[in-house]
Amino acid sequence: MSSKSTNLQPQVSEALCSDPPTLVRPPPTRLARHYVAVERADLDFSSYPSNTETFIPSIHDAQYCQGILRNFENFSPQTNCDIFQFVRGQGCLERDIDGRGVNTFLEEAIKRIPRIPSVGASPRALPSEPETHVIFCSLVKPSAIGPNFRLQSSLSLNTTKKLLEHYQISPQFVPFLLGEPNYGAPGSFSIHDVNGHLAKSGKYTPFSRTKVDPDPNTTTTFVEFFCQHPRWNVLEVQQPWSVYMSYDIPIKRTFYLVVTGVNCPKTTLVKDRLFQSFCQNQDHHIARRSFADPFFIHTLISHESLNDLKPVMTVLRTHLYDQLDEVDAYARKPSDRGSLEKLTTELHKISQDADSLLASADMAIMVTDRMLESHQLVRHLFTYAKYDEYNKIEAALSFLRHSAQSNKRWMESYKNRKDIAMNLVFNLVTQQDAYTNILIAREAKRDGSSMKIIAALTTFFLPATFVATLFGMAFFDFSDGAFTVAPNTWVYAAVTMPVMAVTVLVWWVWDRITVGSRMKGLLFARRESVTDDIEALKGRMVARVALDKAEKMR
């Protein structure tokens, strides 16, 4: 793959030209369902990360890291990345760099490293202009299921190992390089020497090309900070934005490794803003700015990450206001109850989105706080002439932190308004149900009054009906003007009385059975409760006896 070197030109991002976000929610695709467990093998102490000085055994799992690097499916067959360099006061972007291009880039970077002499030798002037190297790589989703985190890096395995060893990248960043979501804190690590200075015992020996004399007292001050920015819209952006930075203090060299999703429009915006800030343009007489503060790109990416929240907040706010209008309209004039079901579902979705954004806002605040803490470590490196630049980055980070807090307060306000609307919906439903119950009670009362009238009429006519029925039977004869009673009238009583007795007996037996089963259930539950209390009391008594024996033995 050929490399193409160009100066950065301002480009209009696809995100700025695209249509406004809609309320259509795409079906979620859970990448975690396709994760492949990392295979653990015997630890190779001569390989990364065991041979790096950024390795911290207490929190870095070397076997886990080496298992990721052994999986060839995690990396592309050929390297494809973009490299931005700020060298000797000029910025330049090289696009579509392959593995050979990365090797050439590293070789040239090594040549520019000044030799730090041994004790007693004549010193060589360290560079006065800072250097910045930024490698942009992407994450793609391969068709085959084989990568550990379902995503594949655009870097080859060979290129990845060279970068990890050359820049002494923290092993904690290796999973982020492959898109594993980070639910922990950002990383800010450094090593201090016996004098309390930030230091990393550095021997620039990548590719067996030693640039530092073998003096064990030689130290290279070093600061690193890496983080993973929150994904404000997880349903659409599943590739997290991971950024690693290291700053080599004596040679004023800053290195960034930026990992984003493939064709991420925000990456283009970052490159455009780098051009606007640091690429000299003679035609437009753009003033060349300094690149002394190593946290500039971290601040820039944090700002773009926070800008990702704007369209998501707009969608959430619009969706919420639409539902609030529906609630107000329903409160003024209740209509179909079916609309309330849809309204409740939409408010529930708003609640889920608000909770997700609140968690992301907390993560953004934590990232900015950790970045401010790490930025304090390089404060003493700035002279009075450069302190203004440090102060501007410090102020920018504080601004981003307060902006994230402000957005969090707005999201909390939106969620509170959603809760108020949900309570209003529940109250409206409760009021309607209460009104319906009142109507039912009125109808029941009206029916009860009717039943009373019917019962009174029945009671009034029942004796006459009984007498008419009794004398209408064949046992009585009123013909020929004489009243006669049949001799077998006793049959009526002999049949009626046993049937009545059997009916009453069946009802009584059924009632006893149902009442007995209910009582047994209650007694069993009470017995279980009493048994548990007794067992607990026995346990306390045994423990008390044991304590008394122990006291006596003392």
Report the pLDDT averaged over residues 531-551: 68
For residue 46, what pLDDT band results from cuts at 50, 70 and 90? confident
φ, ψ for residue 535, nearest 5 deg: -65, -40
The yes-or-no verdict on residue 372 having pLDDT over 90 is yes
Confidence of residue 284 (pLDDT cuts 50, 70, 90): very low
The tens digit of pLDDT for each residue in 184-209 reads: 789 888 766 555 555 544 443 333 33
Distance in angstroms (rounded) separating the CA atoms of residues 154 and 11: 23
The residue that leads in pLDDT, 34 or 407, is 407
Q: How far, in Å, CA of 19 to CA of 175, rounded?
A: 34
CB 122 within 8 A of CB 245: no
Q: Please, which pLDDT band fits residue 250 given cuts at 50, 70 and 90? A: confident
- Report DSSP state, residue 480: G
Alpha-carbon torsion 46, 48, 52, 55, what sign? negative
SS3 state at 256: strand
pLDDT computed for residue 454 by the predictor: 86
Q: What is the mean pLDDT of residues 230-253?
A: 82
- 207-230 pLDDT, tens digit per residue, is 333 333 333 443 446 788 999 998
d(CA 149, CA 33): 9
Residue 38 pLDDT: 87
Question: What pLDDT, on a 0 to 100 scale, did the predictor assign at position 14?
Answer: 39
Rounded to 10 deg, the angle between the 309-332 and 387-471 helix axes is 30
Single out the residue of 130, 122, 108, 350 nearest to residue 209, CA to CA. Answer: 108
Say how many Å lie between the first and final Cα of the chain, rounded. Answer: 82
The model's pLDDT over 131-150, given as tens digits with 9 standing for 90+, comes to: 889 999 999 888 777 888 88
Say if residue 388's pLDDT is above 70: yes
Give the per-residue pLDDT at 127: 55
Q: Is the pLDDT of residue 115 over 80?
A: no
Name, in order, each residue with C-beta under 8 angstroms of 378's C-beta and a sequence gap of 6 or more.
223, 247, 249, 293, 294, 295, 390
- The CA–CA distances, whole Å, from 134 to 92, 241, 271, 308, 461 equal 10, 14, 10, 22, 104
The percent of residues above 70 in pLDDT, for the chain, comes to: 76
Per-residue model confidence as pLDDT tens digits over 430-474:
887 888 888 888 888 888 888 888 888 888 888 888 777 777 777
What percent of the chain stands above pLDDT 90? 22
Structural contact between residues 90 and 280, judged by C-beta atoms closer than 8 angstroms: yes
Looking at residue 16, what is its pLDDT? 37
Express each pLDDT in 519-539 by its tens digit: 666 665 555 565 666 666 666
Which CA distances in Å does 200 have to 107, 250, 523? Answer: 22, 11, 74
CA–CA separation, 25 vs 16, rounded Å?
Answer: 20
Taken in order 69, 75, 78, 80, the sign of the CA dihedral is negative
